[in-house]
Amino acid sequence: MAVQLKFFAAHGFLVQDHASIPGDSVPLLTEQVGVEAEAVDRYDFSGRTARRHCAEILQHLGFR
């Protein structure tokens, strides 16, 4: 979810797949959040949880 939030803040749209994530940003972000970098690789950006995370981010930011 943190990857989605930071990516949206930087690019103005949500991540669709792993290939869109700049590789050099993952270690820094995962260190700040306190998870292993491999957790990002295991995240299914097209799954139901990812869609829920996107909806929560957009709602938090005031999008309808």
pLDDT at 23: 82
Note down the domain range covering 40.
2-60
> How much is the pLDDT for 47?
93
| pLDDT band at residue 44 under the 50/70/90 scheme | very high
User: What is the total count of domains within the chain?
Assistant: 1
| Total-model pTM | 0.78
Report the alpha-carbon distance of residue 42 to residue 11 in Å, rounded.
Answer: 22
Show Cβ contacts of residue 54 under 8 Å, excluding neighbours closer than 6 positions.
Answer: 4, 14
